[in-house]
């Protein structure tokens, strides 16, 4: 794509995309846009990326996002992969273990990392892209938007214009505040003392959760002999009392910290559970902590922000290229909002286990988990972390297939098995698919089906057409679809699925979906919901038709300012 950044005599530069905030969400978004060939600028008021530890857990979905940014190997080299969580009672009894070994998306499900290292990696990686500009020590002061662009005023007098502004500027977002967008959600509010250690050896690579109502605590080992401790404060306790050196040392001594440990950071954080009331206004979108705040108990705050970046990055790329219409961007919030809230509830539920309110509740939790462990399926459900909300959505840039929420792969993150690549070596599926749309054939008749997928609408989407080898087709997640074709989006969510003997009908449904993005962006969620139902559902089952009609009726009640 030709670079569209123009300097004018008025010290004004134009970029298709401007990103405010160079944290994990903003830097990941910039790297993905770099991969997609979209010119963008990152604006950050600080002189460099963060130095102090913050987020400490990166999951399999986020590592798959790093793979999309061509950074998985670098990031994995600085992580401790595949750790679990062991829960201990006040008497020291281990009553539950969460230690997943399955890798449905190609990576270990739980991994320890250091945010300063990740941010440095993401920042350095921007040098790969001549069409990506990073402006550190540049502060956004104000902005205005019209029908065609957003104009940004920086503290040094510089003016930048962009087609779309993405606010990744954190919990105290300047952009969100100037838009007048509030935060709402749970009344949850807790204070926790955070202690970060270096040179802190451990006997086990797994997180230890001390479910002691007297002093709930989490101890998380990290890379390079680092360790994070989190201690809950009770309502009657003052921050300064827990921050006192003698109290800090007492807490570490009584929770198995290595004597040679070196304390590098201590701070009291207040954790919240909040969602922005809306995630966009016209050409401006919120992402990461600017859009949602998640308690840390499930390690999902940063990971939710990276999901935002992945979701909106490919949509911005398709819209700025003209491959899809601006109505596509209306799907961002509907696809992300419910899942973010499910992750917040997931974190709150884990918090109830690790921080029981009293001894009776703690005993009930302990006995309940021990009872469940007597049943293999229940034990596996906990051990493999199958209680984590799956990455899926029921509305947005998808064609529902009428299957149940449990069985359908449409709107779900597609499995990522290992496959044989072009050079004869085993690679992860996404490496074979490339960065754009993909049409994946899962059929023993693939050789006959592939030639029929070379025309429209696949050509206009520039979709790569591939056949799953038998080894990948054996993946249990694909067992329900033995003779099907999938349209995978660039974020590797399944947008559509149809049988190999219904290729013409599937193509027509995708054409209708693509055409729906050409409606004006100011129709928001309704832009994707108000489809020609008769055309979309021709030949489909009554349950599928009912599903689409419900989605259309819901979407038509929502709106977004242009």
In a domain, 331, yes or no: yes
Q: Are both 334 and 422 inside the same structural domain?
A: no
CB atoms within 10 A of CB 262: 12
Q: Are both 39 and 177 inside the same structural domain?
A: yes
Convert the pLDDT of each residue in 151-208 to its tens digit.
999 999 999 999 999 999 999 999 999 999 999 987 678 899 999 999 999 988 899 9
pLDDT of the residue at 548: 35
Does residue 58 have a pLDDT over 60? Answer: yes
Do the beta carbons of residue 555 and residue 530 sit within 8 Å? yes
pLDDT of the residue at 337: 97
CATH code, 547: 3.40.30
CB atoms within 10 A of CB 459: 11
Count Cα atoms within 13 angstroms, Cβ side, for 108.
Answer: 16
pLDDT of the residue at 120: 98
CATH code, 58: 3.50.50.60
Structural domain total, the chain: 2
In a domain, 152, yes or no: yes
- The whole-number average pLDDT for the span 288-293 is 97
Convert the pLDDT of each residue in 73-105 to its tens digit.
999 999 999 999 999 999 999 999 999 999 999
pLDDT of the residue at 11: 55
In a domain, 200, yes or no: no
In a domain, 228, yes or no: no
In a domain, 106, yes or no: no
In a domain, 380, yes or no: no
Q: Are both 156 and 292 inside the same structural domain?
A: yes
Convert the pLDDT of each residue in 233-289 to its tens digit.
999 999 999 999 999 999 999 999 999 999 999 999 998 899 999 999 999 999 999
Of the residues 343, 358, 377, the one at which a domain ends: 343
pLDDT of the residue at 91: 95
Apex 211 CA angle, 205 and 215, nearest 5: 105
Q: How far is CA 54 from CA 117, 296, 300, in A?
A: 11, 10, 12
| pTM of full prediction above 0.85 | yes
Q: Are both 520 and 424 inside the same structural domain?
A: yes
In a domain, 204, yes or no: no
Q: Are both 334 and 452 inside the same structural domain?
A: no
Of the residues 287, 313, 343, the one at which a domain ends: 343
Of the residues 325, 343, 361, the one at which a domain ends: 343
pLDDT of the residue at 280: 98
In a domain, 359, yes or no: no
Q: Which residues contact 28 (CB under 8 A, 6 or more apart)?
A: 65, 66, 69, 122, 305, 306, 309, 310
Q: Are both 449 and 338 inside the same structural domain?
A: no
Question: What's the length of the chain?
Answer: 562
Q: Are both 311 and 429 inside the same structural domain?
A: no
Residue 474 belongs to what domain range?
418-555
Q: Are both 328 and 426 inside the same structural domain?
A: no
Any alpha helices (H) in 82-126, and if so which ranges?
Answer: 115-125
SS3 sequence of 372-397? HCCCHHHHHHHHCCCCCCCCECCCCC
């Amino acid at each position: 794509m030709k670079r569209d950044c123009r300097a004018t005599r008025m010290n004004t530069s134009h970029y298709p995309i401007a990103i405010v905030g160079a944290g994990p969400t903003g830097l990941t978004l910039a790297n993905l846009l770099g991969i997609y060939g979209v010119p963008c600028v990152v604006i950050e008021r600080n002189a460099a990326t963060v130095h102090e530890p913050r987020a400490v857990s990166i999951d399999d979905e986020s590592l798959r996002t790093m793979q999309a940014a061509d950074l998985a190997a670098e990031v994995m080299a600085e992580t401790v992969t595949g750790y679990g969580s062991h829960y201990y009672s006040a008497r020291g009894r281990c009553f539950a273990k969460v230690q997943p070994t399955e890798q449905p998306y190609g990576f270990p499900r739980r991994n320890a990392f250091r945010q300063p290292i990740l941010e440095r990696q993401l920042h350095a990686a921007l040098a790969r892209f001549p069409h990506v500009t990073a402006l550190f020590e540049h502060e956004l002061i104000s902005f205005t938007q019209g029908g065609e662009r957003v104009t940004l005023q920086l503290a040094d007098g510089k003016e930048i214009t962009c087609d779309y502004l993405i606010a990744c500027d954190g919990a105290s977002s300047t952009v969100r505040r100037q838009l007048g967008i509030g935060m709402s959600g749970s009344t949850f509010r807790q204070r926790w003392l955070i202690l970060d250690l270096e040179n802190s050896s451990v006997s086990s690579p797994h997180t230890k959760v001390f479910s002691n109502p007297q002093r709930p605590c989490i101890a998380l080992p990290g890379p390079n002999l680092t360790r994070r401790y989190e201690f809950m404060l009770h309502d009657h306790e003052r921050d300064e009392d827990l921050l006192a050196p003698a109290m800090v040392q007492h807490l570490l001594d009584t929770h198995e910290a290595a004597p040679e440990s070196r304390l590098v950071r201590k701070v009291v954080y207040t954790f919240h559970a909040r969602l922005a009331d809306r995630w966009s206004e016209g050409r401006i979108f919120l992402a990461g902590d600017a859009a949602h705040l998640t308690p840390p108990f499930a390690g999902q705050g940063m990971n939710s922000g990276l999901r935002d970046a992945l979701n909106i990055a490919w949509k911005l790329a398709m819209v700025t290229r003209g491959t899809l219409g601006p109505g596509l961007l209306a799907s961002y919030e509907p696809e992300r909002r419910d899942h973010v809230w499910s992750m917040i509830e997931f974190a709150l539920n884990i918090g109830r286990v690790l921080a029981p309110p009293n001894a009776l509740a703690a005993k009930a939790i302990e006995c309940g988990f021990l009872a469940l462990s007597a049943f293999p399926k229940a034990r596996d459900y906990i051990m493999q972390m199958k209680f984590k909300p799956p990455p899926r959505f029921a509305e947005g840039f998808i064609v529902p297939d009428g299957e149940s929420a449990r069985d359908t792969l449409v709107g779900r993150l597609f499995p990522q098995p290992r496959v044989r690549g072009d050079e004869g070596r085993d690679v992860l599926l996404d490496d074979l698919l490339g960065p754009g749309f993909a049409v994946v054939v899962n059929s023993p008749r693939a050789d006959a089906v592939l030639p029929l997928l070379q025309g429209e609408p696949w050509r206009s989407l520039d979709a790569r057409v591939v056949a799953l080898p038998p080894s990948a087709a054996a993946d249990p997640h694909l067992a329900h679809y033995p003779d099907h074709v999938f349209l995978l989006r660039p974020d590797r969510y399944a947008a559509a699925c149809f049988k190999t003997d219904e290729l013409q009908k599937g193509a027509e449904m995708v054409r209708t979906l693509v055409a729906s993005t050409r409606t004006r962006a100011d129709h928001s969620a309704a832009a994707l919901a108000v489809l020609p139902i008769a055309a979309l559902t021709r030949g489909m089952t009554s349950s599928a038709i009912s599903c689409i009609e419900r989605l259309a009726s819901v979407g038509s009640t929502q709106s977004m300012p242009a």
